[in-house]
Amino acid sequence: MQVSFRKILVGALATVAISVPAMADIKIGVVDYARLLEQSPQAKALQDSLKNEFGPRYQQLLAQDQSLKTRADKLQKDGATMSQEQRDKEEKSIRDAARDLERKKSEWQDDSNTRRNEEMNKLQRSLIGEVRDYAKAQSFDIVIAEGVIYSTPAVDITPAVLQKLQANAPKPAAAPAGAAPAPAKPAAKP
């Protein structure tokens, strides 16, 4: 038993001694993944897409909320001049509308969170693939994304990856030739 332990120890030490010179040639890169998620054109496009998809519904919810507050204020102000039956009917109507609004808000939140999570997962996979492709193309042996407390700019590949992401970003579609520009929205009446 003693002999086999010594053989294993000598073998391990020999392996380490042989691999130390090879470790001197390792090319290491560091990427700030949070910065990629924040600054990449793909992330910005995702944010715009989600805003366009869920923004109008959110604005409707805000308008309904404001309308409900207006009705509640009116009831508070005019409640003394209303009959008991009218007041009870309006209070019930406001309660029902508030419940319906809360349900719609919850649905909106669930829908937008689900969609955002789906799209963020796709974006994260895409960013990881881009970092991997860049690292392979530049012959990096290892790229570290998280858990880095400090790195010098010499090993930070984030700007280079961002540049590659910008080059690969889809270009905005140009308006077809001869198409009239969209009419401007009329000014809101005071």
pLDDT, tens digit only, all 190 positions of the chain: 454 545 564 455 445 445 545 556 888 999 988 888 889 999 999 999 999 999 999 999 999 999 999 999 988 888 888 889 988 998 999 999 999 999 999 999 999 999 999 999 999 999 999 999 999 999 989 998 887 878 888 888 889 888 888 888 777 654 444 444 443 333 333 3
> In sequence order, which residues have a C-beta less than 8 Å from that of residue 43 and are 6 or more positions away?
36, 37, 123
- Residue 8 located in a structural domain: no
Is residue 179 included in any domain, yes or no?
no
Residue 124 dihedral angles phi and psi, to the nearest 5°: -60, -45
Residue 29 phi/psi, 5° resolution?
A: -130, 155
pLDDT in the model for residue 137: 92
Residues in the chain, overall count: 190
The total number of structural domains that make up the chain: 1
Is 9 domain-assigned? Answer: no
CA angle in degrees (0–180, nearest 5) for 143-121-55: 130
* Residue at 91 is within a domain: yes
Predicted pLDDT at 22: 52
In angstroms, rounded to a whole number, what is the distance separating the alpha carbons of residues 184 and 22? Answer: 65
CA 172 to each of CA 40, 41, 45, 46: distance values in angstroms, whole numbers, following the listed order = 15, 11, 10, 13
Residue 174 lies in a domain: no
What is the Cα 124 distance to its own chain's centre? 9
14 within some domain: no
Which residue in this structure is represented by tokens 């609004």?
Answer: 101
Q: Please report the pLDDT score of residue 18 as a whole number.
A: 52
Q: Give yes or no for a contact between 62 and 26, defined as CB atoms under 8 angstroms apart.
A: no
Residue 6 in any domain: the answer is no
Determine phi and psi for 181, rounding to 5 degrees: -65, 155
pLDDT of the residue at 147: 78
**By residue range, what is the domain housing residue 105?**
26-167
- 49 neighbors 123 (Cβ within 8 angstroms): no
Residue with tokens 């520009």: 181
Does residue 178 sit within a domain? no
Instruction: Write the CATH number for 98.
Output: 3.30.910.20
> What is the chain's alpha carbon radius of gyration, rounded to the nearest angstrom?
30
Angstrom CA distances, 152 to 40, 55, 79, 177, stand at 21, 41, 69, 49
Tell me if residue 189 falls in helix, strand or coil: coil
